[in-house]
Chain A
């Protein structure tokens, strides 16, 4: 068969990978359901705690309870929706040597993985819609203030998705050296919850901690998009945040490329 030399990315193949990963999520719907339940419970506990903290006060650091609860609903859903599936996926394939299969495909490995993460996230979207009434019932959630803000929120969240994907990919690639990434993943989950601003919004962190959070990319999974949604970031601040996100995407993309090239030249493909 004549081969056309692929000079452009194979968009159809990537799309199909996305759809297959999304349908795989549905096979594991019970697991996703339990996961979702955990998120809703966390949200409920956060509501109870923060309501107690606010007792008798209308605002803390200029933020009202109402707005805080909306923030928590948004950021927790975001963290849940964008939770990286790649560390476990890549680790499993490296450990078992199944990665051999991915590498004899005519499609770039990192591209396959990004499609995999995209499919997972797309597959989880319907579950979010399921949980949304519950979450909104707990915290209330108004619509974005304008269509422009809604679009900016969507852009910020998409950039956040790309950042999470690259971080997940890097965590997964660690398996080439350590074979096991669950420790790193646990660390990541904690760091996202705290420095990403899903437990405590970054507004409330004391300056040194806030400074650290702003140096890290985890704020883009929770805090930054949620702030945009709630009109808490405006004007120059907003543009600055989006530009920073783009920089992080590019930087992590380059880094994951370097790490991948390093990994593959020293790769040991396990198993006979």
Chain B
């Protein structure tokens, strides 16, 4: 069976509806009206060992709920989940030995104590043999350049440093599966890049299965070949990133920069999407107009300084899908 096996998964939340008037609070004391919100509705997928899958969707789509169900901290209302042969919510503590989790909005590090203390605790919680613990710690500290702040109390770390600490905490015991919930949220370009490199490395060398939830689709584009797209608790797309682009954004982008500014570039068969100075951005459909023809046409008619053809970014593709919903 697949490492992660999910069938017809369903999760509902009950929230209270309270009238916003003076007596609302009083009535709420006596008993409340509750409404049921469906967070996940009939979601099924399989993830194989060693895959790195992007799990994307808008805020409130059900991403975090899925991660919580996979880690066993929520009990589903219907359907099946199996992670490495275990049912997470029934065997939560055993499941915990197989998984690592990084929640970008929280930290598993001990706030008031030096970073190294949290690592030592994890070493003991997961019963990592001492030699292995040392080896992994040295390797990760080196890889993420953490030697300078490993003795610093966690509350004094920058967000980027803390996130590196959290990644190491989740990987020290070499879990089979790593769940990443917004691991690059709020990080600067350099910190984000460092974390991407780290994830690439562990996915390549360790055969760790990675499920990555993020709003930064550049993370997905960089790390994942497969993507799950969820909206309002339903799975909209499950497949290759390339395929998603091909289906939902069959166009290409053409950027033309002329030698002299102020020239209005138009290309038959391509739509202008933006102009700025000597640069023009256009999009076209490669099935109707070949790239070679378009380029030949442009270079014949204008004095070109620079010219580039690109695939749309995943971000633009997904935005297009959301807008079409």
Residues of A within 8 A of B (CB): 1, 3-6, 10, 12-13, 16-17, 20, 23-24, 27-28, 96-101, 103-108, 264-265, 267-269, 271-272
Is B298 positioned at the interface, with any CB of A under 8 Å from its CB? no
> B124 and A104: CB pair below 8 A?
no
Q: Across the interface, which residues of A come within 8 angstroms of B121, CB to CB?
A: 13, 16-17, 20
> B127 and A6: CB pair below 8 A?
yes
> B125 and A13: CB pair below 8 A?
yes
- In the bound complex, CA of A17 to CA of B18 (Å): 41
Chain B nearest CB from A244 CB (Å) reads 33
Known: A23-B113, A106-B126, A265-B75. A272 touches B96 (CB 8 A): no
> A5 and B72: CB pair below 8 A?
no
Is B98 positioned at the interface, with any CB of A under 8 Å from its CB? yes
Among B68, B101, B127, point to the contact of A4 (Cβ < 8 A).
B127
Q: Across the interface, which residues of B come within 8 angstroms of A108, CB to CB?
A: 93
- In the bound complex, CA of A1 to CA of B174 (Å): 6
Q: Across the interface, which residues of B come within 8 angstroms of A105, CB to CB?
A: 93, 96, 125
A-B contact pairs, 23 of them (CB 8 A): A1-B173, A6-B93, A13-B124, A16-B121, A17-B121, A20-B110, A23-B112, A24-B110, A96-B106, A98-B106, A99-B73, A100-B71, A100-B103, A101-B107, A104-B99, A104-B101, A106-B96, A108-B93, A267-B74, A267-B75, A271-B105, A272-B59, A272-B182
- In the bound complex, CA of A265 to CA of B73 (Å): 9
Known: A100-B68, A272-B59. A5 touches B94 (CB 8 A): yes
Among B73, B107, B125, B132, point to the contact of A269 (Cβ < 8 A).
B73
> A20 and B117: CB pair below 8 A?
yes
Measured CB to CB, the nearest residue on chain B to A4 is B127
Q: Across the interface, which residues of A come within 8 angstroms of B64, CB to CB?
A: 272
> A272 and B105: CB pair below 8 A?
yes
> A101 and B124: CB pair below 8 A?
no
Is B45 positioned at the interface, with any CB of A under 8 Å from its CB? no
Chain A nearest CB from B25 CB (Å) reads 14
- In the bound complex, CA of A268 to CA of B34 (Å): 14
Report B118-159 residues with CB < 8 Å from chain A CB: 120-121, 124-128, 132, 153
- In the bound complex, CA of A1 to CA of B131 (Å): 13
Known: A101-B106, A106-B126, A267-B73. A3 touches B113 (CB 8 A): no
Among B107, B113, B125, B174, point to the contact of A106 (Cβ < 8 A).
B125
Report B39-95 residues with CB < 8 Å from chain A CB: 59, 64, 68, 71-75, 92-94
> B125 and A101: CB pair below 8 A?
no
Among B73, B75, B110, B112, point to the contact of A100 (Cβ < 8 A).
B73
Measured CB to CB, the nearest residue on chain A to B182 is A272
| Apart from A27-B112, A101-B103: 16 A-B pairs, beta carbons within 8 A | A3-B97, A4-B127, A6-B97, A10-B124, A16-B124, A23-B117, A24-B112, A98-B106, A100-B73, A101-B106, A103-B92, A104-B73, A108-B93, A268-B13, A269-B73, A272-B64
> A24 and B113: CB pair below 8 A?
yes
Measured CB to CB, the nearest residue on chain A to B126 is A106
Measured CB to CB, the nearest residue on chain B to A24 is B112
> A269 and B74: CB pair below 8 A?
yes
- In the bound complex, CA of A97 to CA of B106 (Å): 9
Q: Across the interface, which residues of B come within 8 angstroms of A17, CB to CB?
A: 121
Q: Across the interface, which residues of A come within 8 angstroms of B106, CB to CB?
A: 96-98, 100-101, 271
- In the bound complex, CA of A47 to CA of B182 (Å): 58
Chain A nearest CB from B117 CB (Å) reads 6
> B113 and A20: CB pair below 8 A?
yes
Chain A nearest CB from B155 CB (Å) reads 9
> B127 and A10: CB pair below 8 A?
yes
Q: Across the interface, which residues of A come within 8 angstroms of B250, CB to CB?
A: none
> B74 and A106: CB pair below 8 A?
no
Query: 7 closest Cβ contacts across the A-B interface?
Result: A106-B96, A103-B73, A13-B124, A13-B125, A1-B174, A27-B112, A101-B108
- In the bound complex, CA of A24 to CA of B72 (Å): 29
Known: A3-B98, A100-B68, A101-B103. A107 touches B125 (CB 8 A): yes
From B73, B74, B94, residue with most partner A Cβ within 10 Å: B73
Chain B nearest CB from A218 CB (Å) reads 28
From A20, A96, A99, residue with most partner B Cβ within 10 Å: A20
Chain B nearest CB from A91 CB (Å) reads 16
- In the bound complex, CA of A6 to CA of B94 (Å): 8
Q: Across the interface, which residues of A come within 8 angstroms of B93, CB to CB?
A: 6, 105-108
- In the bound complex, CA of A154 to CA of B60 (Å): 53
Q: Across the interface, which residues of B come within 8 angstroms of A107, CB to CB?
A: 93, 125
Measured CB to CB, the nearest residue on chain A to B120 is A16
Chain B nearest CB from A178 CB (Å) reads 12
Chain A nearest CB from B287 CB (Å) reads 39
- In the bound complex, CA of A108 to CA of B153 (Å): 26
Measured CB to CB, the nearest residue on chain A to B121 is A16
